[in-house]
Structure 1
């Protein structure tokens, strides 16, 4: 077996325990042996249809066994997997499809209209539907699995080969494809296994979307490599989650703080049986102390971390034993990852002084897809990645993230870059100037607020703003409030002062 990449994992796991359950979805189980056979067949069929090493294959759909099969089959033939965010607008997805120059698109029939709109703007040679196609030119996934012959494809895949493109919004307003190698993803899994103690009998609830780096790379892949069972949920439902935990014996679950908050507010929380859970992990935003105490009262303690797609994503981890003692911090570096806090001169900032978080390690991306200038702006010759986040390191080495140099905010676990929202807002004929910031929100952590200077004689209200942006941006990116101002605060050189807007909002 020449393949040392992730595409070999199903067959390697099947060699060890073919009858163990790999996946559960909607009450249906799939063993490692069954999964390995389907991955082999699908990979062979994709190859027969012309997908070659290095080609990009995208998946558009909710959490489902087809996501897993498409990912592993793509990687097994040396191609590059591109998970697409189902929450994005068709125009955003079409940009990614064109940028990646997709060879194939696999989509769920529940997203047929979205897929058609994307393909209208970014035609793709090979089309595959999970379910029943309405497109006569499309294959079905089951058809490909049935026609593919199990054979040794003998495609040499190493840790330096590209495994995945994960798109992240950028400060320029245009998404960037983060190029992650098989080695990046493997080393990140090592970091997780060290910090979380994932077991071979793990039953992991994966209800956060797998098109995001945390659910896929921090949760699903570590469970898979250890031979545990991943329970794939198409969407997060707090009431259903409270039922699934005792029903399936869930041992590990990941989510953003808003998801864990929703569980505590769901009917049945007080009497829910949570005794099977060994680990509760949160990401995307700091876990409030009140929520930590609520879960501790049920015998559960949060682990939480800080990361980014560019680091596959693990950078810092706050272990369970420190969750209250160091509440508000992001923890210390993951085992195989090095982190520093540097000042404007590039020197390590002393404890107590703010500086930019920089990251180095085998989990750090190769670069941004076909964006050399953007890559060089954040990744130096020694592999140190400039995060753009500002942190303060305490005397024990724990980092507290205090500001975002890039103005990004996080809404319900989703990164939102104001530049992207502002670019879309500028297209409205009533908008002369605009600025978007993140403001605190009890449910989502942060939501957008738009400050707008109107053109003479024009008007704009919240309803019109939402209508206009609905076709251009994902719903979570649309600002939840609008403030019309006579002018935006600027310094003497004309630079926008977003700090003044945040101060006014405080």
Structure 2
């Protein structure tokens, strides 16, 4: 085949294991042959809309077979896939569409209002609605496939060609698009296959959002590459997940700690039939000891990891055999991954000393979409990626994440960058300055806390200030609490000292929010 990218995977699987089930969604199943046939039809349909090599096609919707069909069809044309976060409001979606220059947006029925507003603002030429056109401007997904061609497609696509743009919030307040090549995605999948020992009879439950790199690249795509089946759930419900594990004999799944905690909190958890599970992968946030213990009591252990979108995302991995002995560790590098922990002068940190994690490997992004300065800041000349996270290594080389170079915190598996939230807060007419920090939360791991200085004579309260953020920011980015102060700690040059803000306000907040 001329196509060496992931757009060729359905065709390659269809010739190798055509009758195996590839995808399960609700009460329907698709074999690899059926998946391939639908991908070909969609690729022809996209081509009739003018999609050509290098063009961008966006997708907005929950986990659904159409997500995968759009990804593969886009790759079959040599175009670039842009998954969008369904939790973002229309203005943020419009920015991602405009920044990527997406010419087509495929979306689910529930996302229609946001999709319409975002596409109009961004000037996206075509919208394709999964449930059929409910208005004149949208094309019907199934109608397009039914009328599309079925002839073979084999565009020349090289491993180094761009495959997808995954947006990750930036510290400057605007998202950046990490460009992942076909080789990046493939090598990440190979790392997963080696380190988690996935097999061809795998039944993988995909309940984490596919628009996130872990849900897509750590679970779904490696399973399809191996020829297993993926079970797609459109949303997380702890009771439903337990049902699906029992009914479909799920062998592998990924979730963030809050999901696993919700499952363990169900009354039936102690008696649920979990005997089919071979691998539980957990990431997105540190795994609490109580969570590990709850699953160990059921005879199950977590494979934990650390990664980031820019690395497709796998960087470190702690297999289940070490889950207890190395509790709290993010593990060691994936098989085809190299890492360093470095001090400020670029030298390697000694065991036990904290330093920034650098990562190198064939899965590290090619750069940020149309952001050469940001790319140069993130990637060294010889291809090492600055993660912005601080870790220490123990004597055996296991890494422990201890801090962040940047101010980002993780809330329920979602990265929250304070600069973006602070920029939104500063649009309030009564706020003179502000800082946002993460504070401990028993459910979400961390949530935002806003510390604001009001303008002279202003009297805005918490409800008024935070209420204005709804519709401007995704819900998980909106701080859960706020305090008003007379001033913020600053350096001599006038910069806000974030560590001092955390020490003064986050500790106090944590004391008050402890159960």
TM-score for both structures, normalised by structure 1: 0.99
Query: Within 5 A, what are the aligned runs for 1:29-44?
Result: 29-44=29-44
Structure 1: distance between partners of 2:431 and 2:148: 54
| Alpha-carbon distance between aligned partners in 1 of 2:465 and 2:60, rounded to the nearest angstrom | 27
Secondary structure (helix, strand or coil) at the match of 1:447 reads strand
Shift of 1:343: 0.7
Query: CA–CA distance in 2 between the matches of 1:20 and 1:465?
Result: 54
SS at match of 1:268: helix
1:259-313 per-position Cα deviation (integer Å, ceiling 9, x unaligned): 0000011231121111111110100111112211110110100001000000000
Please tell me whether the aligned partners of residues 76 and 154 of structure 2 are also in contact (alpha carbons under 8 angstroms): no
**Deviation digits for residues 435-493 of structure 1, max 9, x if unmatched?**
00001101000000000000112123232233200121000000000010000011222
CA distance in 2, matches of 1:362, 1:90: 34
The question of 1:248 aligning with 2:242 is answered no
Deviations 1:402-447 (A, max 9, x none): 1111110000000000000001101011110000000110100000
- Cross-structure match for 1:344: 344
Q: CA deviation at 1:352?
A: 1.1
- The correspondence of residues 308-323 of structure 1 with structure 2, limited to 5 A, is 308-323=308-323
**CA deviation map 1:301-329 (0-9, x unaligned):** 00010000000000000111111111111
SS of alignment partner, residue 15 of structure 2: helix
How many Å separate the matches in 1 of 2:214 and 2:334? 14
Q: Is residue 139 of structure 2 the alignment partner of residue 143 of structure 1?
A: no
The answer to whether the 8 Å contact 1:342/1:348 transfers is yes
Cα pair 1:311 1:364 within 8 Å, conserved: yes
Q: Is the 8 Å Cα contact of residues 239 and 267 (structure 1) preserved in structure 2?
A: no
Query: Which residue is equivalent to 2:412?
Result: 412
Instruction: Please give the per-residue CA displacement for 1:351-376, whole angstroms capped at 9, x wherever unaligned.
Output: 11111100111000000000000110
Query: Residue 166 of structure 2 contacts residue 178 of structure 2 at CA under 8 Å; is this kept in 1?
Result: yes
Aligned to 2:4: 4
SS in 2 for 1:466: helix
Q: Cα offset for 1:152?
A: 2.4
**CA positional deviation for 1:137:** 2.6
Question: Is residue 164–residue 179 contact of structure 2 (8 Å, CA) maintained in 1?
Answer: yes
1:49 counterpart residue number: 49
Map of 1:107-122 to 2, 5 A cutoff? 107-122=107-122
Q: Secondary structure at the residue paired with 1:292?
A: helix
Alignment of 1:76-475 (within 5 A): 76-475=76-475
- CA distance in 1 between counterparts of 2:154 and 2:9 reads 14
Structure 1 residue 153: Cα displacement: 2.4
Distance 2:403 2:20 in 1: 45
Distance 2:78 2:464 in 1: 46
State how far apart, in whole Å, the 2-side matches of 1:175 and 1:338 are. 27
Q: How many Å separate the matches in 2 of 1:120 and 1:48?
A: 21
Give, in angstroms, the shift of residue 336 of structure 1.
0.5
**Which portions of structure 1, spanning 4 or more consecutive aligned residues, are displaced by more than 6 angstroms?**
none
Provide the C-alpha distance between the structure 2 equivalents of 1:157 and 1:140, rounded to a whole number of angstroms.
28
1:16 pairs with 2:16: yes
Q: What are structure 2's unaligned runs of at least 5 residues?
A: 508-515
Q: Is the 8 A contact 2:281 2:304 kept in 1?
A: yes
1:133-152 Cα offsets, whole Å, 9 max, x none, are 22213211112211221222
The equivalent of 1:480 in structure 2 is 480
The answer to whether the Cα contact below 8 Å between 2:303 and 2:323 also exists between their aligned partners in 1 is yes
Compute the RMSD of aligned alpha carbons.
0.9
1:220-266 superposed Cα distances (whole Å, 9 cap, x missing partner): 00110111111100000001111111101111111000000000112
Q: Distance in 1 between matches of 2:211 and 2:175?
A: 15
CA contact (8 A) 1:289 1:324 kept: no
Q: Distance in 2 between matches of 1:57 and 1:176?
A: 17
Give 1:45 shift: 1.3
Secondary structure at the counterpart of residue 469 of structure 1: coil
The gaps in structure 1 that reach 5 residues or longer are none
- The count of corresponding residues between Structure 1 and Structure 2 is 506
Mapped to 2, the partners of 1:158 and 1:135 lie a distance apart of 38
